[in-house]
Amino acid sequence: MGILNVTPDSFSDGGRFVTVDTALAHAEQMIAEGADMIDVGGESTRPGGEPISVEDEIERVVPVIEALTRRTNVPISVDTTKSEVARAALDAGAAIVNDISALRFDFYVADAVARADAGLVLMHSRGTPATMHRLPPVADIMHEVTHSLRASINMAERRGVKRESIVIDPGIGFGKSQEQNLELIAKVDQLIAAFPDYPLLIGTSRKSFIGRILANNSDRLHGTMATITASILHGAHIVRVHDVKATVETIRVAESIRDNPGQM
């Protein structure tokens, strides 16, 4: 899943793709490099981020989604927590809604997804983008993530979202400590075992916990690829990334190792 932020303030690439032309060019580049889907986000969810209005978010994402669906058959996802934005994006041609609140902020997102027979990514998070970095860590992050995601899955299915349309995401970096982010990556296989009916998405790309490990101000590319490798070896089905070409090559090697018939 290639990340396309059409925002002025995203933590990594804010302001780079805010026009339809620049967004379209970047999406086409990611598709050429091997992206299987494109995730369009109009509101930054970085720690400390400020919310924007429904109208502003729709104005940012809908023209880009309309342009992309005219140019490519690759599925387009919209990264939003608002049901009004989800409906507008789905009407514009999006096939997936990626909700970082897992319906906590607006459970009508599930209604919009069910009506459109679309896909839904449910990501675990705590607090809001404005508060999550100040929350004290929970005692048992695996229990917290599995318990919360089960509640979100149940709500989505009760509101008509098909089971086969749901993807889960443990929400790396969203209200977790450094150690908990690493624990979740190391235990991806346990999360998959807890949710055998749902594909698992991991989003670690360029996140601050990688920078803290490396203790530098690099672009965090190599650290990201390390987390991608670990996630794939533990069974992750989808990875959400900024750097598609490097990720495709990393996955190809990691899968070759994982699927080596000589392994016991």
Q: Is residue 201 part of a domain?
A: yes
pLDDT of 232 above 90: yes
Domains: count for the chain: 1
- The burial class, CB within 10 Å (0-12 / 13-18 / 19+), for 202 is buried
**pLDDT score for 4:** 95
**pLDDT score for 13:** 46
Checking phi first, is residue 34 left (phi over 0); if not, alpha (psi -120 to 50) or beta?
left
Average pLDDT over residues 175-187: 97
pLDDT digits (tens, 9 = 90+) for 6-56: 987 444 544 456 688 999 999 999 999 999 999 999 998 766 667 899 999
Average pLDDT over residues 156-185: 97
pLDDT digits (tens, 9 = 90+) for 55-67: 999 999 999 999 9
The enclosing domain of 116 has a CATH number of 3.20.20.20
Q: Is residue 264 part of a domain?
A: no
Average pLDDT over residues 102-121: 98
Between these two residues, 48 and 230, which has the higher pLDDT value?
230
Between these two residues, 147 and 262, which has the higher pLDDT value?
147
Q: Is residue 35 part of a domain?
A: yes
Average pLDDT over residues 97-105: 97
Average pLDDT over residues 174-198: 97
Question: Comparing C-alpha atoms, which of 11, 56, 58 is closest to residue 219?
Answer: 11
Distance of alpha carbon 250 from alpha carbon 69, whole angstroms: 28
**DSSP notation for 18-69:** -SHHHHHHHHHHHHHTT-S-EEEESS--STTPPP--HHHHHHHHHHHHHHHH
Average pLDDT over residues 186-209: 97
- Torsion sign over Cα 103, 162, 84, 29: positive
- The burial class, CB within 10 Å (0-12 / 13-18 / 19+), for 176 is buried
pLDDT of 217 above 80: no
Q: Is residue 168 part of a domain?
A: yes
Tokens describing residue 256? 């070759």
3-state secondary structure of 251: helix
Q: Is residue 96 part of a domain?
A: yes
Q: Is residue 263 part of a domain?
A: no
Q: Is residue 253 part of a domain?
A: yes
Q: What percent of the chain has pLDDT over 90?
A: 83
Between these two residues, 12 and 167, which has the higher pLDDT value?
167
Q: Is residue 262 part of a domain?
A: no
**pLDDT score for 79:** 97
Contact 170, 184 (CB under 8 A): yes
Average pLDDT over residues 131-159: 95
Confidence of residue 5 (pLDDT cuts 50, 70, 90): very high
Distance of alpha carbon 222 from alpha carbon 10, whole angstroms: 20
Average pLDDT over residues 174-199: 97
Just list the catalytic residues.
207, 240
Average pLDDT, the chain: 93
Tokens describing residue 18? 């805010």
**pLDDT score for 263:** 63
Q: pTM score, two decimals?
A: 0.93
Range of the domain at 36: 2-257
**DSSP notation for 193-204:** HH-TTS-BEE--
